[in-house]
């Protein structure tokens, strides 16, 4: 009973990150931190050994390093970098490139949708809660793509399969 609750919290944290990002174009640090804190009990309950846990942690750190480099280059936001790393911690090495592809695919769909919304916003009335998204110079809430990629790939991972049983 403990494992499904933890896995649900992981999914809820990813969804919360997406919602916060759409609403504010920021991702609070507590969401990424919550994901990191939930990892050890899930990894243990999934039956991962120390070597497998180490690989997951290494993937998380590598993703964080890549995210910091992308943040320094002003390609992504700091919240996006931290969320990507926190989710990559759960994905591990075996499914990492599937995760990257899913995030990139979702990000492309998101960017196309925002372009359409921003174009339409020039000719239609805007709601007060969407104005920050429809400005031509506004960023893209990439937390949505990261959450979508994570939620798409996580159920196939060894960590999820082990914790779900």
Over residues 124-159, the pLDDT tens digits come to 776 655 666 767 677 889 999 999 999 999 999 988
Average pLDDT over every residue of 55-77: 95
* Residues near 152 by beta carbon (within 8 Å), at least 6 away in sequence: 102, 106
Q: What percent of the chain has pLDDT over 90?
A: 67
Q: What's the pLDDT band for 42 if we cut at 50, 70, 90?
A: very high
Q: Is the pLDDT of residue 71 over 60?
A: yes
Average pLDDT over every residue of 23-38: 95
Higher pLDDT, residue 162 or 89: 89
Question: Residue 123 has what pLDDT?
Answer: 72
Q: What's the pLDDT band for 1 if we cut at 50, 70, 90?
A: very low
pTM: 0.90
Q: Is the pLDDT of residue 163 over 90?
A: no
Average pLDDT over every residue of 105-128: 82
Structure tokens at 152: 């798409």
Contact 93, 59 (CB under 8 A): yes
Distance CA 109, CA 78 (A): 21
Burial class (CB in 10 A: 0-12, 13-18, 19+), 26: middle
Q: Is the pLDDT of residue 102 over 70?
A: yes
Higher pLDDT, residue 79 or 163: 79
Question: Where do the H-state alpha helices sit in 46-142?
Answer: 50-72, 78-91, 96-121, 131-134
The full set of domain ranges for the chain reads: 2-164
């Amino acid at each position: 009973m403990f494992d499904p609750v933890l896995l649900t919290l992981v999914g809820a944290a990813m969804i919360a990150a997406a919602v916060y990002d759409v609403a504010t174009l920021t991702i609070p640090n507590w969401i990424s931190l919550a994901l990191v804190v939930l990892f050890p009990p899930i990894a243990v309950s999934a039956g991962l050994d120390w070597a497998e846990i180490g690989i997951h942690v290494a993937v998380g750190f590598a993703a964080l390093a890549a995210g910091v480099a992308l943040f320094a280059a002003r390609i992504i936001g700091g919240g996006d970098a931290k969320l990507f790393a926190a989710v990559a911690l759960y994905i591990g090495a075996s499914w990492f490139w599937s995760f990257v592809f899913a995030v990139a695919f979702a990000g492309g769909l998101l960017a196309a949708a925002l372009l359409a919304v921003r174009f339409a916003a020039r000719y239609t009335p805007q709601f007060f809660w969407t104005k920050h998204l429809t400005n031509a110079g506004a960023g893209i809430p990439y937390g949505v793509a990261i959450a979508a990629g994570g939620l798409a790939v996580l159920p196939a991972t060894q960590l999820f399969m082990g914790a779900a049983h």
